[in-house]
């Protein structure tokens, strides 16, 4: 067994009555895996599957891409995984620190690399599911964060730190009971999360369904069509390329990520300082239509009408279209741009480069737009505005529900290891 520092238990909160507290290294065999690029000399080897850090996730394994490594028979015998082995990553990015799960015999033969620790217990004294849940709980993560070696953006643990982990455990039968209760509760949490995700997707699709219903009627088929440029006071304009100086002085400037679900989201808005002439050039006014022209295919074409009572500029990632209010309602234009017809035009016209897409103002000028009477546009906008507000409220409720569901596992684990589950 690996030697461990037995003092850690005395520095932890008292375990629940009847529970023991013992360093992990005194009750578990801790083994590091194979080092890539090690010298094998002339020793005979054969290829075997092995686990990398990328395969070991928090509370599950990702075996969609398992590599092979040449290993000697001695190494295979020493490192061959058994069902019930606990696998833990040594770290790297903060989210990988102490990350781990159980090996349940998913492959007939598998070993692991040196950035993964394998911990093996006496199966008559420690129930693997209980130990795995404890080590990956907030209790376990707090220990690893407190004892990890920290460098810029990197946190790692070594075998000594892992051996010193203060393992708290009740009797074997109680370990089994708690693990079974946790398994049932976690399964219920996963069912609730999956159901909430289905509702979230349905709520997201609701907005598009409302727009489709408004713009695909028998009456809509008779509307005259105009090019977007014919409905604008001026040609579309690109925003300022001046970057924020980070000191919070100047005028707020909106970028691509401030357009969210068809509205302006005023969060993390930076400021820039411009001359009076340039400031006047990029200053937004109510009713201006902002169009995201670059980045990913999902973001390009997102629009919002500026409707805030505050001063703001717009960045070069965006195009501002100033709609002639005698001919069109900017909200109607925005709804159409995000409709099925509008998205098809944008997707056909996007220019694609490595890792990025974009579209020019001159291209968008040619977008064919329905142009019913202004009163009809305004009536549709009022109806869609109410429906969009209801859909946004529903999405917000579901997001809050999902956040609460995602927090449940941590709460359950905290209760389990405080003896109250």
* Residue range 227-279, pLDDT digits in tens: 999 999 999 999 999 988 778 889 999 999 999 888 999 999 999 999 999 99
CATH architecture of 224-371: Alpha-Beta Complex (3.90)
The answer to whether residues 313 and 278 touch, using CB atoms and an 8 Å cutoff, is no
Q: Do residues 252 and 279 lie in contact, with contact meaning Cβ atoms separated by under 8 Å? A: no
CB 24 within 8 A of CB 119: yes
**DSSP code of residue 136:** T
pLDDT of residue 167: 93
In the block, residue with structure tokens 């964060």: 145
pLDDT at 399: 94
DSSP state for residue 117 in the 8-state scheme: E
Residue 23: the pLDDT is: 93
Predicted confidence at residue 370, as pLDDT, reads 96
Q: Does the domain spanning 8-169 belong to CATH 3.40.50.300?
A: no
Give the residues of the chain that fall short of pLDDT 50.
Answer: 1-7, 10-11
Instruction: Give the pLDDT score at 2.
Output: 39
pTM for this entry: 0.73
Domains 8-169 and 224-371 belong to one CATH topology: yes
- Residue 296, pLDDT score: 81
Check residue 322 and give its pLDDT. Answer: 96
Strand 154-156 to strand 91-92: parallel, antiparallel, or no bridges (unpaired)?
antiparallel
Using alpha carbons, select from 111, 109, 107, 134 the residue that is nearest to residue 121. Answer: 134
Measure the CA–CA gap between 216 and 342, rounded to whole angstroms. 13
Say what the pLDDT of residue 247 is: 80
- The tokens for 54 are 């990328």
Q: Would you kindly state where each structural domain of the chain is located, as residue ranges? A: 8-169, 224-371
pLDDT the model gives residue 6: 43
């Amino acid at each position: 067994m690996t030697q461990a520092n037995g003092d850690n238990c005395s520095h932890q909160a008292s375990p629940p009555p009847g529970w023991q507290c013992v360093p992990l290294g005194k009750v578990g065999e801790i083994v590091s895996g194979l080092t890539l690029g090690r010298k094998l000399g002339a020793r005979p080897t054969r290829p075997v599957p092995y686990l990398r850090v990328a395969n070991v996730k928090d509370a599950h394994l990702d075996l969609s891409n398992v590599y092979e490594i040449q290993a000697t028979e001695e190494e295979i015998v020493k490192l061959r995984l058994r069902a019930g082995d606990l696998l833990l990553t040594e770290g790297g990015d903060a989210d990988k620190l102490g990350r781990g799960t159980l090996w349940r015999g998913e492959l007939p033969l598998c070993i692991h690399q040196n950035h993964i620790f394998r911990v093996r217990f006496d199966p008559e004294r420690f129930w693997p599911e209980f130990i795995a849940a404890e080590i990956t709980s907030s209790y376990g993560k707090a220990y690893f964060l407190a004892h990890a070696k920290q460098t810029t953006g990197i946190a790692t643990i070594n075998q000594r730190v892992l051996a010193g982990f203060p393992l708290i455990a009740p009797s074997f039968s109680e370990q089994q009971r708690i693990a079974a209760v946790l398994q049932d509760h976690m399964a219920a949490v996963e069912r609730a999360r999956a159901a909430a995700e289905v509702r979230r997707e349905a709520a997201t699709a609701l907005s598009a369904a409302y727009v489709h219903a408004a713009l695909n009627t028998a009456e809509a088929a008779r509307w005259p069509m105009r090019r977007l440029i014919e409905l604008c006071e001026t040609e579309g304009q690109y925003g300022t390329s001046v970057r924020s100086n980070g000191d919070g002085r100047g005028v707020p400037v909106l970028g691509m990520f401030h357009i969210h679900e068809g509205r302006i989201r005023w969060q993390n808005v930076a400021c820039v300082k411009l001359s009076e002439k340039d400031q006047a050039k990029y200053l937004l006014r109510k009713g201006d239509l902002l169009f995201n022209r670059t980045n990913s295919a999902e973001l390009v074409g997102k629009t919002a009408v500026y409707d805030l009572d505050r001063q703001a500029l717009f960045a070069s990632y965006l195009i501002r279209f100033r709609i002639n209010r005698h001919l069109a309602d900017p909200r109607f234009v925005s709804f159409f741009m995000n409709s099925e017809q509008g998205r098809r035009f944008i997707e056909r016209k996007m220019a694609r480069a490595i890792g990025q897409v974009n579209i020019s103002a001159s291209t968008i000028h040619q977008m064919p737009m329905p142009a019913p009477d202004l009163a009809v546009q305004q009536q549709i906008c009022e109806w869609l505005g109410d429906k969009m507000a209801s859909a946004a409220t529903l999405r917000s409720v579901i997001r809050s529900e999902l956040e609460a569901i995602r927090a449940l596992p941590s709460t359950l684990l905290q209760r389990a290891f405080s003896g109250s589950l």
